[in-house]
Amino acid sequence: AQSVTQLDSQVPVFEEAPVELRCNYSSSVPPYLFWYVQYPNQGLQLLLKYTSAATLVKGINGFEAEFKKSETSFHLTKPSAHMSDAAEYFCAVSDPMVGGFKTIFGAGTRLFVKA
């Protein structure tokens, strides 16, 4: 079965500093990978997705992620953090199973942005 591991439970950054949230995946087949963001008391919002078309994926709000097969990684980056980026971020992978596919989420990384 596919899985993802988010290496940091919390990441603090200063405003305007670069952001990197780390995600490693385990998959026996070419994976479909996603990053979602969740603001307090909200649902999850899709930031970006990797579907094998390009290794560098650009998403919303200035985020991007690079798929590195040799490192089994899909880290999320942003050149300059804004206060509004403070949220919980989930890396996810589509996992085939009997009956269809389901999305498996990592444990999440809380991004703190300091002024």
- Work out the number of other CB atoms within 10 angstroms of the CB of residue 88: 16
State the CB neighbour count (10 A cutoff) for residue 59: 17
Q: How far is the CB of 101 from another protein (least distance, A)?
A: 2
* Least Å from the CB of residue 15 to another protein: 24
What 3-state DSSP class applies to 59? coil
Cβ atoms < 10 Å from Cβ of 33: 24
Binding mask 14-53 for another protein (x = CB under 8 A): ------------------x-x-x----xxxxxx--x-x--
| 54 part of the interface to another protein, by CB under 8 A | no
**Considering the rule CB under 8 A, would residue 112 count as an interface residue with another protein?**
no
90 binds another protein per the rule CB under 8 A: yes
* Amino acid at residue number 98: V
- Tell me how far apart the alpha carbons of residues 54 and 61 are, in angstroms, rounded to a whole number: 19
103 contacts 1 by C-beta, under 8 angstroms: no
Encoded tokens for 27: 């998959």
Q: Residue count at the site for another protein (CB under 8 A)?
A: 26
- Kindly state whether residue 12 participates in binding another protein, applying the rule CB under 8 A: no
67 binds another protein (CB under 8 A): no
Positions in the binding site for another protein (CB under 8 A): 32, 34, 36, 41-46, 49, 51, 90, 94-103, 105-108
